[in-house]
Amino acid sequence: MPAVTAALFRQAELRAEGLVGLLRMIAVLALLLSSVLATREAVAHEGSEVMARQWFYAGTMMAGYFTLGALAWWGYRRGWLRIWMIWPAAAADCLFFLYGVWMSMVNIGLPGGHAFVFPAVWLAPVVLAFGVLRFNPGIQAFIAALTVGGLALLIGLPPGEGFAPRSGAAAIFLSFPPNAMRVAMLGLAGAVLVVAAVRTRRLLLRSITEAQNAANLTRYLPGQLAPRLAAGGLDELRRGGWKQAGVLFIDLRGFTRLSQGMTAQELADFATEYRRRITAAAQQTGGIVDKFMGDAAMIVFEEGGDRAAAARACVDCAFRLRTSVADWSGVRVAAGAPPLRAGIGLHWGAVFSGVVGTSDRLEYSVFGDTVNIAARLEEETKRLEADILASRDILALAGQGSDGAPWDISAETELRGRDGVLHLGGVRRS
């Protein structure tokens, strides 16, 4: 088991032991109430001396069990509870109620056949249930063995002096065979709970492993792919497929000249702020940052069942980026730094979308003519002196005309490396 997974299991087991400690205290209070109700009528029949000893033994047991619960609960909250402490605590769970039953039998002089009439024995199924909360099969089996073994010994104890056996139907149900059946049923319940603990532990281990794998992948892959990763797994993403998508490119103008006057720290801070603004705009509009390339970035808006909505989101992202860069430029100018300007190109069309690379380095990317067109449109913003250039394909899908506000540039262009004329709408430099 990997170290990280083992640490998570230890934390979960300690948290469970803290919960068991709290439940022990609650169980003692319930047992105290039931003991009062069960012994109220017996006081008149057995005499005050016998009942005084009975309450002393019961009180000793319940006080010790309550203290054990309080120590476990408080120890977890204070952080000094350790894994090894769970085993003696689990043993104490069994020994406390077995001690209570045994002392009650010795005090009154009843034989082992009467073990199941004492309130303390009612803790047996509760103790077995406590083991499930720990989801540790070893501890669960340990508890079941102690419980069944202890009760098997108790039901075989001889009666005390002066005990007068009674006949009748009630005596039949207090004889050895029915009691052996009761112990066997508790043993069966313990075995079932061991199986349940095994299954729970396996399920928890698988959940932790899958969550860790997903977390490791999302370090390299965009967070927006998490639902698809959970639904189809990495193999599905690797296969990829053709999709309709909007592709946006943004590039800072004159970045080489800007960076020449910066120190290493200033350049790092600049790049971090730039990427923060790109990522924020993409997240606000539902885009996936495909990659950063120096001072350039590529953002993808896959259709997701609603092409028009994806196209509008792509256009919205372009204007958010334009506003963000302008605001940042204003802050820089006020501080005496050179202004900033960016060119943004966007287009809609078919792309091949998927995850590529080896297990050591995975990367989400899209390929195709649509990507090339969006990149060329970003380059065209220099020639046409535009902040944004969008193809008519994406504008029409987004429900916007290429010759109305805010699109104050309407042009046709032949892109390098591509046949045919592309109709454009643009936003002039501010």
**Number of H helices and number of E strands within the chain?**
14, 8
Indicate the pLDDT class of residue 301, thresholds 50, 70 and 90.
very high
Inter-residue contact 123 to 95 (CB < 8 Å): no
Helix (H, G, I), strand (E, B) or coil at 303: coil
Q: CA dihedral defined by 288, 291, 295, 300, rounded to 10 degrees?
A: -30
More confident residue, 159 or 98: 98
* Residue 115: CB atoms within 10 Å: 26
Task: Return the pLDDT at 193.
Answer: 84
Question: What average pLDDT score do residues 411-415 get?
Answer: 81
Place of tokens 């801070």: 269
Task: Return the pLDDT at 282.
Answer: 93
Q: Domain spanning 227-428: which superfamily? A: Nucleotide cyclase, GGDEF domain (3.30.70.1230)
pTM over 0.95: no
Helix (H, G, I), strand (E, B) or coil at 289: strand
pLDDT over threshold 60, residue 49: yes
For residue 139 the two structure tokens come to 């501890």
Instruction: Measure the CA–CA gap between 145 and 90, rounded to whole angstroms.
Output: 11
Q: Please report, for residues 24, 33, 104, the alpha-carbon distance to residue 55 in angstroms, rounded to integers and kept in the order given.
A: 19, 13, 9
pLDDT over threshold 60, residue 302: yes
pLDDT over threshold 60, residue 227: no
Question: What average pLDDT score do residues 3-14 get?
Answer: 78
Dump pLDDT digits (tens) for 154-208. 888 787 665 656 655 656 666 777 778 888 888 888 888 888 888 888 887 887 7
For residue 323 the two structure tokens come to 């506003």
Task: Return the pLDDT at 279.
Answer: 92
Instruction: Measure the CA–CA gap between 392 and 179, rounded to whole angstroms.
Output: 86
Question: What average pLDDT score do residues 263-271 get?
Answer: 90
Task: Return the pLDDT at 257.
Answer: 82
Q: Mean pLDDT in the chain?
A: 81
Look at strands 342-358 and 241-252 and give their pairing. Answer: antiparallel
On the 0-12 / 13-18 / 19+ scale of CB atoms within 10 A, 361 is exposed
Q: Please report, for residues 120, 219, 343, the alpha-carbon distance to residue 360 in angstroms, rounded to integers and kept in the order given.
A: 59, 12, 34
Task: Return the pLDDT at 320.
Answer: 95
Indicate the pLDDT class of residue 285, thresholds 50, 70 and 90.
very high
Indicate the pLDDT class of residue 287, thresholds 50, 70 and 90.
very high
The residue extents of the domains of the chain are 3-216, 227-428
* Residue 335: CB atoms within 10 Å: 7
Task: Return the pLDDT at 250.
Answer: 96
Task: Return the pLDDT at 389.
Answer: 94
Task: Return the pLDDT at 168.
Answer: 56
Q: Which of 160-174, 225-239, 333-347 has the highest mean pLDDT?
A: 333-347
Mention every residue, 6+ apart, whose C-beta is less than 8 A from residue 356. Answer: 238, 240, 362, 363, 365
More confident residue, 9 or 361: 9
Look at 90-104, 164-178, 267-281 and tell me which has the smallest mean pLDDT.
164-178
